[in-house]
Amino acid sequence: MAEPAPRHPRSRSRSRQPSATARRVAAAAATVALAVGAVACGPEDGGAQGGAGDAPKKGGTLTVLNSEPQTDFDPARLYTSGGGKVPTLVFRTLTTRNRENGVAGAKAVPDLATDTGRPSKNATVWTYTLKDGLKFEDGSPITSADIKYGIERSFAAELSGGAPYLRDWLVGGDTYEGPYKDTSKGGLKSIETPDDKTIVFHLKKPEGEFPLLASQTQFAPVPRKKDTGTKYEEHPVSSGPYKVVKNTGDGERLVLKRNEHWSEVTDKERHAYPDTVDVRSGLDSAVINQRLSTGSGADAAAVTTDTNLGPAELAQTDDDEELQKRVGTGHFGYTTYLAFNPKVKPFDNPKVRKAISHAVNRRSVVNAAGGSSLAEPATTFLPNQKSFGYTPADPFPAGKTGNPGKAKELLKEAGYEDGLTITLTHSTAKNFETSPEVATAVQEALKKAGITVKLAGLEDNDYKDKIHSIKDEPGFFISRWGADWPSGGPFLAPIFDGRQIVEDAYNFNHAQLDDPAVNHEIDEINKLTDLEAAAKRWGALDHKIGEKAVSVPLFHPVYKRLYGKDVKNIVISDWDGVLDISQVAVK
């Protein structure tokens, strides 16, 4: 599912559905908040901290200062995928991400399972075996039936909000309504548990990326007898290194203590150094950054998993050598872009779309997004990270500041020698991806090419409803997209697969592109279980789609986050880029 990129200076997003069935579910249930953030490079001085004589040790209290409350703390309702956020301390899944900096962290590795899954020849059946010695917080054993039940309850309408992929991938998933309405008590027949340690998934079609999906929190085990429905979030049963001892204010205060039945022998990914993790949310982003900067009392051993530094705050850190050492930097897999609806004139003319592509001034757009420290120019839809399959390409070269001459030439060929007037729809919300400032930068660049741009700013909810409606979608607007795991699949398919065009709910294929060759290639790549080979194919497909000029990539965001002076062992990876809370130690 997609995530609108983190707001600036706070990191906040709303999840979107990648397929027809899933998006209909989301339209009924609304979207879910998901904090995202920095990836790829770790601290400014590089890599994880803590060398010889300064190795991380167990003990102490880690404080987490966040903008967004940790609401719906139920694995069925959470929207996370193997990342380093708070839920990963409580909920283990079949797979998780490799907890390393950079590219190495973009790979799925075993968690509760002994491996990342064993596919059938056509990748429509995936089998997992659980490790020995797995236990819940009460000491009872974790079985395959608990994982099956945890997945099934995520289908219940009252527990909606989590990732929707299984509704579309599992045989029978599109009609299953969850265990509370399952009178047969047999559950989803496409999930088999032949014994306590084996679980088998039967899919509608080949899905080579199932090991990446298996890191979603829906794959966390839930003991049926301990399920309290919508109240389960108050005290979910832990399978991870920490258990919930306090959850107040609808997730504004969450206190975690050690789960004495968790064993590091079965969990090589989470270190769980602190004795206590105290999550305090609902805070103003400026207050969070000020507290982290000052580092008084408990704030010296504090981090944030959802709040970024803004331009003004970055200027302050640039003047402070000590603060610079406490800034984590990276890139979440995200793209802000100009979207065309080719069914609206004059955007039905490819030469008009290409003219706009040539005219864009990416330098001014990047400046509008906060400057080069916070955004990087994009000429491909895929983010420039290896795991996505990024392949350098620039089908409509505009240079750093636009190519109005080439744009005018194309407009003349399209029959607009005297220029044309168009409308650009954008959000008025003060986020840096679709902000009025970004829209104005586009407006000014296109003016040099003889294109008059009228700006249509909408309140954020109205903007989202309009751009995701087939009926109301404007011809030209600013949009953004991010993947749920580091791969080209959940990045390209929801936006460009013609079979995912949704007529009666949220639609994300803005161009309403239904190209049989593109659809076929998506299916062929999904058959691949060799994800490196798949990545190369996603990169090639990105290039092919890019040449159709159905969107204009603008920039990929860069994130900067402070952490406390007594925090060490910082790990930030190419998965979702959040500082990995499971690796952090405090002095």
What is the average per-residue pLDDT within 167-173? 95
Angle between helices 350-359 and 436-447 in degrees, nearest 10: 100
What does the block give as tokens for 234? 């108050």
Residue 372, Ramachandran bin (φ over 0: left; ψ between -120 and 50: alpha; else beta): alpha
pTM for this structure? 0.88
Tell me whether strands 276-280 and 118-119 are parallel, antiparallel or unpaired: unpaired
Residue-level pLDDT at 433: 66
Q: What is the arithmetic mean of pLDDT over 489-499? A: 95
**Residue partners of 452: CB distance under 8 A and separation at least 6:** 419, 420, 421, 422, 446
Higher-confidence residue of 333 and 148: namely 148
Among 310-314, 396-400, 521-525, name the one with the lowest average pLDDT. Answer: 310-314
What value does the mean pLDDT take over residues 81-91?
84
**pLDDT at residue 1 tops 50:** no
- The pLDDT of residue 17: 37
- pLDDT tens digits, one per residue of 267-319: 999 999 999 999 999 999 999 999 999 999 999 999 999 898 988 899 888 88
Beta carbons of 560 and 374 less than 8 angstroms apart: yes
**Interval 206-221: pLDDT, tens:** 999 999 999 999 999 9
* 81 or 242, greater pLDDT: 242
**Per-residue model confidence (pLDDT) at position 576:** 80
| Whether 136 contacts 162, CB under 8 Å | no
- CATH architecture for residues 32-283+560-586: 3-Layer(aba) Sandwich (3.40)
Within a 10 A sphere around the Cβ of 171, how many other Cβ atoms?
Answer: 17
Binned at pLDDT 50, 70 and 90, residue 432 comes out as low
Q: What phi and psi values does residue 560 have, to the nearest 5 degrees?
A: -125, 130
Count of beta carbons in the 10 Å neighbourhood of residue 317: 20
Least confident among 82-86, 102-106, 253-257: 82-86
pLDDT (0 to 100) of residue 49: 44
pLDDT above 90 for 333? no
User: pLDDT at residue 26 above 80?
Assistant: no
H or E, element range at 140? none
Query: What pLDDT is attached to residue 578?
Result: 79
Provide the pLDDT for residue 310: 87
Q: Which two tokens mark 435?
A: 């902000």
DSSP string, 433-448: SS-HHHHHHHHHHHHT
- Angle between helices 489-496 and 516-526 in degrees, nearest 10: 150
pLDDT of residue 341 exceeding 50, the answer is yes
* Signed CA dihedral, 376, 380, 383, 387: sign only: negative
Other CB atoms within 10 A of residue 437 CB: 16
CB 22 within 8 A of CB 1: yes
Report, at the CATH architecture level, how domain 334-557 is classified: Roll (3.10)
β-bridge mates for residue 278, sequence order: 63, 255
Task: With beta carbons less than 8 A apart as the criterion, state whether 88 and 102 touch.
Answer: no
Answer with the residue of higher pLDDT: 348 or 45: 348
From start to end of 169-262, where are the E strands? 191-195, 198-202, 242-248, 253-258
pLDDT grade for 148, boundaries at 50, 70 and 90? very high
CA-based nearest residue to 102, from 36, 46, 49, 35: 46
Domain coordinates of the chain in residue numbers?
Answer: 32-283+560-586, 334-557
Q: Which residues contact 221 (CB under 8 A, 6 or more apart)?
A: 92, 112, 136, 142, 143, 146, 147, 149, 150, 239
Averaged over 417-436, what is the pLDDT?
A: 87
What pLDDT, on a 0 to 100 scale, did the predictor assign at position 83?
A: 66
pLDDT at 316: 87
Mean pLDDT of all residues in the chain?
89
Q: How far apart are the first and last CA of the chain?
A: 38
Pick from 40-54, 167-181, 280-294, 340-354: least confident: 40-54
482-491 pLDDT, tens digit each: 888 999 999 9
The C-alpha atoms of residue 204 and residue 210 are separated, in whole angstroms, by 12
pLDDT tens-place string over residues 28-67: 333 323 333 333 344 443 444 443 347 899 999 999 999 9
Calculated CA dihedral for residues 386, 389, 391, 395, nearest 10 degrees: -140
Alpha-carbon distance of 519 to 544, in angstroms, equals: 12
Kindly state the average pLDDT of the residues 447-461: 96
